[in-house]
């Protein structure tokens, strides 16, 4: 899902993006809290995450660190962070980043609480309605 929503080229790139976000999240949350979050993740994602030990001071700092790890600019890093955090928050069991958002800097909390948008149904114009609109346009032109 991360690969598709994040428009990434393959599973390795998706894994790399998830690990970058998790590694940066590791700098935001205290280690025991992060361990509670990571315990339900697959082993390849949680083992050996890069932990810098330098706390994240703001949302800009969070996004910049992700961008530095992925070698992308800040808008792309913010996009990928949102997609990955949406997926982590969609988990039905275990802990989510949204549950621990209050431990993060204030401007980072909305990003940590990201949820996937709900799909709204597409409203289609019926043929009769479209034909009525065409006749009205023709009447106005005359």
Under 8 Å between Cβ of 56 and 65: yes
Please state which CATH class domain 2-141 belongs to. Answer: mainly alpha
pLDDT of residue 130: 55
| Cβ atoms within 10 Å, residue 63 | 24
Q: Indicate the length of the chain as a whole number.
A: 142
* Mean pLDDT taken over the chain: 84
pLDDT of residue 124: 52
User: Model's pTM, two decimal places?
Assistant: 0.78
Cα→Cα distances 136→23, 124, 128, 132, Å: 59, 19, 12, 6
Domain ranges of the chain: 2-141
DSSP letter at 58 equals: S
pLDDT of residue 68: 95
């Amino acid at each position: 899902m991360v690969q598709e929503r994040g428009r990434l080229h393959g599973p390795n790139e998706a894994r790399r993006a998830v690990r970058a976000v998790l590694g940066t999240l590791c700098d935001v949350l205290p280690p025991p809290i992060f361990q509670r979050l990571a315990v339900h993740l697959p082993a390849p994602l949680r083992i050996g995450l890069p932990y810098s030990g330098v706390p994240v001071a703001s949302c800009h700092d969070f996004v910049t660190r992700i961008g530095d790890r992925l070698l992308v600019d800040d808008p792309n890093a913010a996009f990928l962070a949102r997609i990955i955090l949406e997926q982590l928050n969609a988990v039905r069991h275990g802990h989510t980043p949204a549950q621990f958002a209050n431990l993060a800097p204030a401007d980072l909390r909305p990003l940590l609480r990201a949820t996937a948008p709900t799909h709204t149904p597409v409203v289609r114009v019926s043929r009769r309605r479209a034909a009525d609109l065409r006749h009205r346009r023709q009447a106005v032109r005359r």
